[in-house]
Amino acid sequence: MKTVLFFITHKTLGEEHARATFYSIQKQSGSDMFDEMYIYNSHQEELSNEFLLELCGEYNISSKVRDIKVFPYQQETNKSLGADYVAIMEFCKHNYDKKDRILILKSDCVLSKNYFKDLFSIPEDLKVFFVAPFVCAKDRITDQEIFEYSDRDSFVRSDDITFFVEDQTNSGDNDFNNRKGVNVTDECIKFTSCCVITDFSCHYITNDIMYKATIQFQSWGGVKFYGLTDYYVGTKNSFVIHKYHDIKSDNRQTDREGPVEKWLKS
């Protein structure tokens, strides 16, 4: 069984995001290694593959990945996460075995120090859809604060700097109800947390079930993972931190929908 990491970078994700993600890969505890990593870059005119390969060297990514390659990205690919997912899925379908496992890691994600440890502890005979809890850093939070948070030994839903906004069933078990005296926009709150598994965040999936995701192609997104929830493997230890970025680009003219933009800008 091979393990393959796809590092995705696209418009609105810059050098600082790539550096943060690579730093979190470098800091992974244990000796487990991915067999291969692909740099999947849809905005080479802004952030070159050559520069990203240099960053891999700077952050010693070869200590965590045996072979680093550039994905043969086609410029005519529709600019959406759905299209990126399809491109990766089709590539894996033709180049990897059914039991091989694929990590899709966007460069707005910083991994907790024990993330790889959780991935490589999953029994090899399982078909896997692994999703760790997702923590969003507010826009004003520094990289150093994010890195310090990623050094935690386990995921904490709620504490003095973390506001828990949603569980995977969208139930009433959240800090809006559980912490009436605290507002998500308070200055003391630096991070919001959630345990949603169906939205595109950071996923580790067995190759032969990737097609079960629901894929659309409009605007920024377009992947829902409802069809994979029967294979869900979770954790209470590792987690993923989202590093803030604007989302307006040539492909999207509007900000984040709903109250999330207000939370993250507070």
pLDDT digits (tens, 9 = 90+) for 61-84: 999 999 999 999 999 898 888 899
pLDDT the model gives residue 236: 79
pLDDT the model gives residue 86: 95
For 106, list phi and psi in degrees, rounded to 5: -80, 150
Q: Distance between CA 191 and CA 184 in Å, rounded? A: 9
Pair type for strands 223-224 and 129-131: unpaired
Q: Distance between CA 200 and CA 192 in Å, rounded? A: 17
Give the mean pLDDT of 198-220.
Answer: 87
Confidence of residue 170 (pLDDT cuts 50, 70, 90): confident
CA angle 37, 29, 150 (to 5 degrees): 90
For 192, list phi and psi in degrees, rounded to 5: -110, 145
Confidence of residue 261 (pLDDT cuts 50, 70, 90): confident
> Do residues 142 and 132 make contact, with C-beta atoms less than 8 angstroms apart?
no
CA distances from 198 to 162, 223, 253 (A): 22, 8, 24
39 has pLDDT over 90:
yes
Q: Token match 């075995």: residue?
A: 97
pLDDT the model gives residue 219: 58
**Region 3-265: CATH code:** 3.90.550
For 243: left if phi > 0, alpha if psi spans -120 to 50, otherwise beta; the answer is: beta
Give the mean pLDDT of 155-165.
Answer: 97
Percent of the chain whose predicted confidence (pLDDT) is above 70? 93
Quick: pLDDT tens for 90-112.
999 999 999 999 999 999 999 99
> Do residues 79 and 47 make contact, with C-beta atoms less than 8 angstroms apart?
no
pLDDT the model gives residue 112: 98
Which of 199 and 163 is assigned the larger pLDDT? 163
Q: Distance between CA 180 and CA 92 in Å, rounded? A: 47
